[in-house]
Structure 1
Amino acid sequence: MTASGSAKLVMNPATANGGDPAVSGGAVKCGFNPNGSFRGRVDFPGRSGTGFLAINSIGYTVINSLGAVGSTTKTDLQGMNGDLTGHYALGSDIDASATPGWNGGKGFTPVGYNGFTGAFNGLGHTIKNLYINRYSTINNSTYNRVGLFATISNGATIRNVGMVNGNIAGSYYVGGLVGWSNQGVGINVIANSYNTGTVKGVYCTGGLVGISYYGGVNSYTIITDSYNTGVIDGTTGGNGQIGGYVGGLVGAPEHYNKITNSYNIGEVKGTYLVGGLLGILYDGSILTNSYNTGKVTGSLSVGGLVGASFTNSNKITNSYSIGSVTGTDSVGGLVGGASNTNITNTYSAGKVTGVSNVGGLIGSKDSTVTVNNSFWDKDTSGQATSAGGTGKTMAEMKTLSTFTNAGWDIDNQGGTGKIWRIYEGETYPLLRYWLRPLTVTAKNDSKTYNGLAYSGGNGVTYNCFINNDPLPSQPGGTPLEGILTYGGDSQGAKNVGSYAITARAR
């Protein structure tokens, strides 16, 4: 959608519209294409400022430029530091290629060190090549709370923005989008957003958020419909708190956080409490409908999905990891170490390597952990045992009955609304939420008459490239196995003419 000239745009996703009932808290959502880019966006070409965009009756400032070093204009990206309570929206993609030369090489100044409390809506746009270099082993205000936003608090919302090809580095609390989500009063929301760039830190480092901390049952952070593909590096050596709490999506989600419908495919490296999606899950937090396929490397408490989960009844449900996991102590295909956690309807299938307390699904746990209907692949993991869960062969892990017999919400049919989908004998269970239809189209072909019947085809094209893989694939980059056949009246044709070539794939 483009709002040009003097056009004004009012979006009211929370109100009733014909047969569409009102939804309390309704929000603008720009969906994802199969390759991870936004499916839709709203453009305001050549216009920045206020007076021409409202969402749910709140006026937004439209931003179309990066701004300059130290800007506080409130009308450009860097200038958001001029009003940390404001409501901002991107009117176009922002190229931040100039930022490596800012602030003596430190780059962009993160927005809101003491707390951004407003709203930021990318409207389906991206911020490319953002550079922040506050890397140090020193924990002070110069080097910590590093990301596009330093700190968000008191019910701040961030939606529909992609951080592309950035290079973000800091000491403590470092994220590609937010360094520290400090709940304060109210619920912070980060939704429908992603990071593809490199993030480096020494403590609490995540692809999207470094740490989400301080909260309660009515004050927490929700992260949903989000993903990371960039390399997350928290491997800095040293003592104390150096190199810990590292996650592909969030380094340390603590205190009643809720993470749902999210994934990571980037490599994650750290020292302790290192997970493919989350470094830790802590104090009544919930992780559901999420997965990891990225490689995970660390030392202590290393997990394919979560490094460690502990304190006050955490929950991990309908989630999985197929990324390889390497560590030293408390190393698991899904969770490295756990206590006070309920783990239900999960699985892992990546290779798991460690020295002590190593398990196919869970590395170590205590008696406060409950594991229900959860499995690991004994063949691919290289692990015959686990602190929890049930080991299965690869063939069993690709069999529907393994999971229906365990009570999973799963089938092998399309369009049924079940949480899980499996392609019998070909794939592990896949979260239906992230699956997209695949259309296979035959390419045109030509032939010089020779009296012989035509057969086959000239190859095909696909409409669906998951995570930019060269072939349509299941998460993690392993091409889906299947059979391609050609049909149409071209098959067997001998005479000069035009014929149809159709392609079918299973």
Structure 2
Amino acid sequence: MGWDYDPDNEFHPLPSFTGSLNGNYFHLRNVNLNRPDMNDVALFYSLKGARIQNLFIDNISVDARTYAGALAVYISSSTVSRCLMSGSVQSLDCAGGMATLISGDSQIQSCILQTNVRVRNELNPVGGSAGGITCFTQDTAFLKCSSAGTIVGKTEAGGLTAHSLASSFSECYAHVTVQASVAGGLAASVKDGSFTDCYARGIASGKTYAAGLIAKTDGMVLNNTDNAEINRCFAAVRTRVDGEGEIAAGLIASSTNTNVTASYWDSERSGNNSSVGGERRTTADMSFPYAANSFVGWDFNAVWASDPDYSKNSGYPWLRNLPPTAVILLGDKYSGGEGTAAKPYQIASVADWQQLCRSQEDWTKHFEIIRDLDFTGVIAVPLGRNYNRIHPDHPVPFFQGTLEGNHKRLINLSMPQAEEEDVALFYHLKNAVIRNLNIEQVHIVSGERAAALAVYLEDSTVINCFVSGTISGDAYAGGIAARIMSQGSLVQRCRADVEIHTTADYATAGGIAALLLDGTVEQCSSAGTIQGKSWSGGLLGNIFSGNIARCTSVAHVTGRSAGGMAGLIDRGTCSTSYAHGRVQGEVAAGFAAETVSSVLNDCYARGQTRGVHCAAGFIARLNNRLNDKADNAQINRCYAAVRLKLTSDNGIAGGLIGENGGAEVITSYWDKEYSGTLISAGGAGRTTTEMTHPHAANTYINWDLNGIWAADENGNMNAGYPWLRNLPRPPQDDENDIEGEEPDVEGEEPGIEGEEPGIEGEEPDVEGEEPGIEGEEPGIEGEEPGIEGEEPGIEGEEPGIEGEGPDVEGEGPDVEGEEPGIEGEEPEVEGEVSINPEKKGCAGCGCASKDLRTSVKDLLGDWLLVALCLSVLFMSTLLRRKV
């Protein structure tokens, strides 16, 4: 179906149907099938091998001589799922809220009936059965279905069915008034089959039998004994019979060959202390907080839920996946208000929200939520996805109004719709404002794009919202939105604590959004787990021309290209933000996997990064080119204190930057001890002591430690590293790192294997000191280099340090082509960036822009300096001997 349908004249029944009908959650309203002189009247004559889903039938009226149903007269070998029906159905003989006969291994799932069903001629001596869902069922499975209304029959009547033969009912309930000769809260007569995790409430009145759950049960079918089963069911039903000697029972009135397990009835409510099965309890025993001997062995985590405030089911347990409020289909339009800014429409129930989803004419108006909304078991669809394209008031799928959440919660919103491309609370927000809304414990599944709040966010503002739960999309998945579009979009002061998964090879995932296509995200934070196939970021998957400011992410991120804050930043800006989490991917970095022509100011990354081809503390691949033209890409006043691990022999590791395509890196640093690497394609390496309070003089040069940054004087804010004073407190004590793991960049050994860089117990070198004996310059007059009596260069020893050399016992030689360590390194010149030479087996970047300079010492290395000193000493000795 493509839109709601409200026929002007009488509706003619349709013939047999064997195909598939997806109602797309649209409505058939006010259908008139009043044919009192016709047999077999329903919307369809029969369904055989058919599939009906997502169809709402509102206020239907059916009247027949015999056999009447709202959907079909006969249903065989068919599936009916996620359908809602309301109205009235009546006939002279057999009537059912959905159908008169359902058989042939049919499946009825997640259907809600709110129909009044009646056999209107009480003088009929033969027929006269009525059921809330069906009059008769055989070999059918019912799952998560409910019935509410008045069910009146001649011979038998039941809240769900009059007769059940070899059928199963699971997680179903009826809240009804039932009247017939034989009346049962769920069923009048049951042979074989089972009722599991079901309940009945209301009134059951009979002339011969009346029971709260089932009037008569029998396991005997065609002379074959197969016990009927009743497991974990209860009844809170007023039961009564008209004559003397008749039977009224709290749970079951008559039973043979039936097993009843962990099932109960409320003796006070029923007015009966007897039943041929089940256990008697008082109202206090069966209502919250529940007696210890009631509901024994029931699953209150996945199937049942408690009712502590007596608002759901009068204190009785209720089915978690089918709440009692789900039967409310239609009512007054919202719970108050006028839709204006001064008097917004009030949303006080799930029914109000569903009304908003149906009312396209209201999508430009003002709303407020005045109570928490629990969507448990509710069939929810995105507002705007299935819109009516020819609707005169609002022929577009956008919500363009305002929604004030008042800090209320929308909880247990479930949209497992893998067959749909776009799944979220809203399909598309355009020129809309959403404020102060919490969406908690969502379960979203989409075949393409998925988010908790909106699939598309265009020229809209979302302020102070929170989302939590699990979100899965094949291609794009985000916490707040899948795609944030246009410069006029703003997401501000929003938080996401989510588990996000994507499955397609090109998929993109982010804690707040998968894609930021222009617009601004500020003062936002993310936590949880972000798992993407391609680009993944703790806050945003990909950024194109967008802005990030004052944001944080402590999410754990995995993907082919993964960053603690973003997967890709392309022509974007980012300022005063940090990421502190675990990042893992083929290309992985503590902050961003890749940047293109972007500017990052006053940011930092902490945590742990594990990469296959490239692992970097801050940015793995830093590019300064857009369409082969140089652009002004910069990294200003940023640092990284990130443990690095490479999982391939030919990978690239960078303490701050992995690869640099010519961008400027200004007064930015990495902790070379903590990272485990001395190499970076930009920035200056510093020791942990130099980077933590009280900070070395050559670190954090020209940083604003009064307005933007703050010193961690006591080491209890950010492990001694500077922290951003206007952001939430970072995680403490490396709680996002892999516990106890040492830095381990494959192919680099900055110190003894398995230790932090540097020799254990050795003090850091004095700034500006050349290698040699502490406090002594090589070549002191009268002393030969090396051990006394030995010539320089004896194998296995380094000259100039008596009994000591950089090769500590058990330590392997330094990687070929790499500087042996940081011992004696000269301080960096303010504003300079050191680019290390390529390391063996890596595609290390050696390019530099005109503003990048390399010190002589970095090019020559410590070995050349030592050789130069030895040459000078040797020449001096020869000259003295000649003299």
Residues 362 and 246 from structure 1, CA distance in 2 versus in 1: closer, same or farther, beyond 3 angstroms? same
- 1:62 is displaced (CA, Å) by 5.2
- Equivalent residue, structure 1, for 2:725: 432
CA 79–282 in structure 1, closer or farther in 2 if over 3 Å, else same: closer
Paired with 2:691 and 2:676, the residues of 1 have a C-alpha distance of 14
The aligned runs of 1:59-74 (5 Å cut-off) are: 63-66=347-350, 67-68=353-354, 71-73=357-359
The Cα of 1:343 is off from its aligned counterpart by: 0.4
Aligned equivalents of 1:65, 1:230: Cα separation in 2: 29
Residue in structure 2 matching 1:192, options 493, 518, 521: 493
SS in 1 for 2:673: helix
Match of 1:349 among 641, 654, 664: 641
Shift of 1:323: 1.4
Query: Structure 2 vs 1, CA of residues 84 and 298 (structure 1 numbering), >3 Å: closer, same or farther?
Result: same
The structure-2 alpha-carbon separation of the partners of 1:264 and 1:92, relative to structure 1 and needing over 3 Å to count, comes to closer
1:121 is displaced (CA, Å) by 2.8
- The residue number in structure 2 matching 1:133 is 445
Residue 171 of structure 1 is matched in structure 2 by 474
Instruction: Establish whether residue 362 from structure 1 lines up as the match of residue 657 from structure 2.
Output: yes
Asked if the contact 1:107/1:133 (under 8 Å) is kept, the reply is no
User: Within 2, Cα distance between the matches of 1:91 and 1:48?
Assistant: 15
What residue identity is the alignment partner of 1:349?
A
Give, as a single letter, the amino acid of the residue that structure 1 aligns with 2:611: G
Equivalence for 2:527? 229
Kept in 2, the 8 Å contact 1:63–1:89? The answer is no
Q: Describe the superposition over 1:385-431 as per-residue Cα deviations: whole angstroms up to 9, x where unpaired.
A: 11110111000011334476611001xxxxx5x20011247310100
| Structure 1, unpaired ranges of 5+ | 1-46, 135-141, 214-219, 235-242, 411-415, 437-465, 468-472, 479-506
Provide, for residues 97-128 of structure 1, a one-character-per-residue CA deviation record: whole Å limited to 9, x for no partner.
Answer: 1515x658989942554x320323332x4211
Cα offset, 1:95, TM superposition: 3.5
Contact kept, 8 Å, 1:332 with 1:358, in 2: the verdict is: yes
Name the residue aligned to 1:393: 687
Structure-1 separation of matches of 2:472 and 2:356: 19
**Aligned residues of 2:478 and 2:513 also touching (Cα < 8 A):** yes
Cα 1:424–1:146 change in 2 (3 A) is closer
Assess, with a 3 A threshold, how the Cα gap between structure 1 residues 477 and 182 changes in structure 2: closer, same or farther.
Answer: closer
- Pick from 491, 505, 510: which aligns with 1:206? 510
SS in 2 for 1:196: strand
Offset at residue 146 of structure 1 (A): 4.0
Change (3 A) 1:49 1:151: farther
Q: Quick one: which amino acid aligns to residue 199 of structure 1? A: I
SS state of the match for residue 327, structure 1? strand
Contact 1:275/1:296 (<8 A) preserved: yes
Q: Which residue of 2 aligns with 1:38?
A: none
For residues 403 and 95 of structure 1, what CA distance do their matches in structure 2 show?
52
Cα distance, 1:423–1:110 mapped onto 2, change above 3 Å:
closer
Which sits farther off after the overlay, 75-84 or 196-205? 75-84
Secondary structure of the structure 2 residue equivalent to 1:407: coil
| Aligned residue in 1 for 2:424 | 110
**Does 2:618 match 1:334?**
yes
Change (3 A) 1:430 1:292: same
Alpha carbons 2:492, 2:522 under 8 Å: kept: yes
* Whole-angstrom CA distance in 1 between matches of 2:690 and 2:539: 30
Q: Evaluate the alpha carbon distance shift between residue 347 and residue 91 of structure 1 in structure 2; reply closer, same or farther with a 3 A threshold.
A: same
Secondary structure at 1:395's aligned position in 2? helix
* Among 589, 604, 614, the residue aligned to 1:303: 589
What SS class does the counterpart of residue 380 from structure 1 fall into? helix
Distance of aligned partners of 1:169 and 1:103 in 2 relative to their CA distance in 1, 3 Å threshold? closer
Q: 2:606 matched to which residue of 1?
A: 322
Please say which structure displays the higher CA radius of gyration.
2
Q: Distance in 2 between matches of 1:264 and 1:192?
A: 13
What amino acid does structure 2 have at the position aligned with 1:87? T
- Given that residues 422 and 450 in structure 2 are in contact (C-alpha distance below 8 angstroms), is that contact kept between their aligned partners in structure 1? no
* CA separation of 1:224 and 1:476: change in aligned 2, threshold 3 A: farther
**Deviations, residues 272-317 of structure 1 (Å, cap 9, x unaligned):** x21001001002x1011000111000013x110011001xx31011
8 Å Cα contact 2:616-2:644 kept in structure 1: yes
**Correspondences of 1:35-184 after superposition (within 5 Å):** 50-51=337-338, 54=341, 63-66=347-350, 67-68=353-354, 71-73=357-359, 80-81=383-384, 84-99=399-414, 109-113=423-427, 115-123=428-436, 125-134=437-446, 142-153=447-458, 155-164=459-468, 166-183=469-486
CA distance in 2, matches of 1:388, 1:221: 29
TM-score normalised per structure 2: 0.38
Equivalent residue runs for 1:408-427 within 5 Å: 408-410=703-705, 416=706, 418-424=707-713, 426=715, 427=720
Superposed CA deviations along residues 28-59 of structure 1, whole A, max 9, x for unmatched, are xxxxxxxxxxxxxxxxxxx86655884xxx88
Counterpart-to-counterpart distance in 1, 2:488 and 2:413: 34
Distance 1:120 1:405, change over 3 A: closer
Change (3 A) 1:425 1:106: same
CA contact (8 A) 2:471 2:499 kept: yes
Kindly report which structure 2 residues correspond to 1:197-276, keeping only aligned pairs within 5 A, or say none.
197-202=498-503, 203-213=507-517, 220-234=518-532, 243-254=533-544, 256-271=545-560, 273-276=561-564
Match of 2:872 in 1: none
1:169 aligns to what SS in structure 2? strand
Instruction: Tell me: CA distance 1:127–1:111, structure 2 relative to 1, closer, same or farther (3 Å).
Output: closer
Unaligned runs of 5+ in 2: 1-333, 374-380, 388-397, 625-632, 738-883
Q: Within 2, Cα distance between the matches of 1:167 and 1:107?
A: 17
Tell me which residue corresponds to 2:22: none
2-side partners of 1:292 and 1:160: how far apart?
20
- TM-score (norm: length of structure 1): 0.64
CA distance in 2: counterparts of 1:430 and 1:198, whole angstroms: 27
Do the aligned residues in 2 keep the contact of 1:275 with 1:304 (CA within 8 Å)?
Answer: yes
Structure 2 CA distance, aligned partners of 1:223 and 1:194? 11
The percent identity for this pair of structures is 23
What is the CA distance between 1:348 and its match in structure 2?
0.5
Asked whether the equivalents of residues 509 and 535 of structure 2 are also in contact (C-alpha less than 8 Å), the reply is yes
From 355, 378, 381, the counterpart of 2:672: 378
Counterpart residue number, 2:322:
none
* Aligned-partner SS, 1:423: coil
What SS does the corresponding residue of 1:406 show, helix, strand or coil? coil
- Distance of aligned partners of 1:252 and 1:71 in 2 relative to their CA distance in 1, 3 Å threshold: same
The 2-side partners of 1:147 and 1:267 are apart by 19
Deviation at 1:233, TM superposition (A): 0.8
In 2: Cα distance, 1:287 partner to 1:358 partner: 23
